[in-house]
Structure 1
Amino acid sequence: MMDIDKSKLVLVHNKDDMISDIALETKEIGYYKDSWNRFKKNKASLVAFYILCVVLFFVFFGPYMKSYDLPETHSIEAARLNNLTPKIPILEKFGLFDGTKTITRGTQFLLYLNETELGEGVILEGLPQELIDDPNHPDYDGVDSLEVKVDYYKYKNYISSYMPENYFGVLAENENSGGNEDALGSVRRTLTQDNFNEYVKKNYIIDILRIIETPNPENPSEPFYQYEVRVNQFMLSLDTEPEDTFFWLGTTNAGKDLFTEIWLGARISLLMALAVVVINSTVGITVGAIAGYYGGALDLAMDRLVEIVSSIPFLSVLTLLTLRYGTELWVIVFAFTATGWIGMYRTGRMQFYRFKNREYVFAARTLGASDGRIMFKHIFPNTLGLIVTGLALSIPIFVFTEASFSFLGIINYSDATSVGMLIEQGQQVMQIHPHLLIYPSIYIAVLMITFNLFGNGLRDAFNPQLRGVE
Structure 2
Amino acid sequence: MNIDKKDLVLVRDSQKILDTELESKRIGYYQDSWNRFKKNKGAFYAFIIICVVLFFVVFGPYMRGYTLKADAPIEAARLGNLVPKVPGLEKLGFFDGTKKIEAGKQFLLDMNSNDFGKDIIISGLPQELIDNPDHPDYEDVTKLEVVVNHYRYTNYVSSYKPERYYSIVKQNEINQTDDDPLAEVKRTLTQEEFDEELKKNSVIDILQILETDNPADPEKPFFQYVVRLNQFKSTLGVNDPSDVYFWFGTTDEGGDLFTELWLGARISLIMALAVVSINSLVGLILGSLVGYYGGAFDLIMDRLVEIIVSIPFLSVLILLTLRYGNSLIVIIVAFTLTGWVGMYKTGRMQFYRFKNREYVFAARTLGASDARIMFKHIFPNTLGLIVTGLALSIPFFVFTEASYSFLGIIEYANATSVGMLINKGQAVMMHHPHLLLFPSAYISILMIAFNLFGNGLRDAFNPSLRGVE
> Structure 1 length as normaliser, TM-score?
0.92
Q: Are 2:297 and 1:289 equivalent residues in the alignment?
A: no
Q: Per-residue CA shift, 1:369-410, capped at 9, x if unaligned?
A: 111111111100110011001100111111111111111111
Q: Are 2:139 and 1:123 equivalent residues in the alignment?
A: no
Aligned to 2:205: 207
Structure 1 pair 349/224, CA: closer, same or farther in 2 (3 Å)?
A: closer
Letter in 1 for 2:450: F
Structure 1 pair 191/252, CA: closer, same or farther in 2 (3 Å)?
A: closer
Rounded to whole Å, the distance in 2 between the matches of 1:35 and 1:195 is 65
Q: 1:92 aligns with which of 90, 93, 104?
A: 90
Aligned to 1:31: 29
Rounded to whole Å, the distance in 2 between the matches of 1:387 and 1:53 is 21
Following superposition, the deviation at residue 267 of structure 1 comes to 0.5
Aligned to 1:467: 466
Aligned to 1:176: 174
Aligned to 1:81: 79
Aligned to 2:251: 252
Structure 1 pair 17/104, CA: closer, same or farther in 2 (3 Å)?
A: same
Rounded to whole Å, the distance in 2 between the matches of 1:279 and 1:303 is 20
Match runs of 1:256-275 below 5 Å:
256-275=255-274
Q: Which moved more, 1:66-75 or 1:47-56?
A: 66-75
Q: Which moved more, 1:16-25 or 1:347-356?
A: 16-25
Aligned to 1:347: 346
Aligned to 2:160: 162
Q: 2:51 aligns with which of 45, 50, 53?
A: 53
Q: Are 2:407 and 1:408 equivalent residues in the alignment?
A: yes
| Contact 1:110-1:132 at 8 Å conserved across structures | no
Structure 1 pair 203/452, CA: closer, same or farther in 2 (3 Å)?
A: same
What SS class does the counterpart of residue 138 from structure 2 fall into? coil
Aligned to 2:451: 452
Letter in 2 for 1:431: M
Following superposition, the deviation at residue 466 of structure 1 comes to 0.9
Rounded to whole Å, the distance in 2 between the matches of 1:173 and 1:372 is 83
Letter in 2 for 1:208: I
Q: Which moved more, 1:309-318 or 1:421-430?
A: 309-318
Structure 1 pair 10/62, CA: closer, same or farther in 2 (3 Å)?
A: farther
Following superposition, the deviation at residue 225 of structure 1 comes to 4.7
Structure 1 pair 345/149, CA: closer, same or farther in 2 (3 Å)?
A: same
Rounded to whole Å, the distance in 1 between the matches of 2:112 and 2:79 is 25
Q: 2:134 aligns with which of 132, 136, 145?
A: 136
Letter in 2 for 1:332: I
Match runs of 1:253-402 below 5 Å:
253-402=252-401
Q: Which moved more, 1:440-449 or 1:121-130?
A: 121-130
Rounded to whole Å, the distance in 1 between the matches of 2:349 and 2:324 is 36
| Contact 1:48-1:450 at 8 Å conserved across structures | yes
The number of residue pairs the alignment matches comes to 468
Structure 1 pair 26/115, CA: closer, same or farther in 2 (3 Å)?
A: closer
Aligned to 1:153: 151
Structure 1 pair 402/219, CA: closer, same or farther in 2 (3 Å)?
A: closer
Letter in 2 for 1:400: F
Q: Per-residue CA shift, 1:268-311, capped at 9, x if unaligned?
A: 11111111111111111111111111112221221121111111
| Contact 1:73-1:254 at 8 Å conserved across structures | no
In structure 1, list runs of 5 or more residues that go unmatched.
none
Q: Per-residue CA shift, 1:203-229, capped at 9, x if unaligned?
A: 111112234556665555566654332
| Contact 1:279-1:337 at 8 Å conserved across structures | yes
Structure 1 pair 12/416, CA: closer, same or farther in 2 (3 Å)?
A: farther
Alpha-carbon RMSD: 2.8
Q: Per-residue CA shift, 1:162-193, capped at 9, x if unaligned?
A: 23476355324411232334311342233344
Letter in 2 for 1:131: L
Rounded to whole Å, the distance in 2 between the matches of 1:260 and 1:249 is 9
Structure 1 pair 139/332, CA: closer, same or farther in 2 (3 Å)?
A: farther
Structure 1 pair 143/444, CA: closer, same or farther in 2 (3 Å)?
A: same
Rounded to whole Å, the distance in 1 between the matches of 2:113 and 2:172 is 16
Q: Which moved more, 1:223-232 or 1:152-161?
A: 223-232
Q: 2:70 aligns with which of 72, 85, 91?
A: 72
| Contact 2:287-2:344 at 8 Å conserved across structures | yes
Rounded to whole Å, the distance in 1 between the matches of 2:71 and 2:453 is 38
Q: Which moved more, 1:319-328 or 1:46-55?
A: 319-328
Rounded to whole Å, the distance in 2 between the matches of 1:117 and 1:183 is 20
Following superposition, the deviation at residue 115 of structure 1 comes to 9.6
Q: Which moved more, 1:318-327 or 1:108-117?
A: 108-117
In structure 2, list runs of 5 or more residues that go unmatched.
none
Q: Which moved more, 1:180-189 or 1:128-137?
A: 128-137
Rounded to whole Å, the distance in 1 between the matches of 2:268 and 2:335 is 12
Rounded to whole Å, the distance in 2 between the matches of 1:18 and 1:198 is 96
What SS class does the counterpart of residue 96 from structure 1 fall into? coil
Aligned to 2:193: 195
What SS class does the counterpart of residue 354 from structure 1 fall into? helix
Percent identity between the two aligned chains:
68
| Contact 1:73-1:255 at 8 Å conserved across structures | no
Match runs of 1:413-432 below 5 Å:
413-432=412-431
Rounded to whole Å, the distance in 1 between the matches of 2:115 and 2:135 is 19
Following superposition, the deviation at residue 135 of structure 1 comes to 4.5
Letter in 2 for 1:203: N
Following superposition, the deviation at residue 80 of structure 1 comes to 0.2
Following superposition, the deviation at residue 108 of structure 1 comes to 6.8
Structure 1 pair 362/123, CA: closer, same or farther in 2 (3 Å)?
A: same
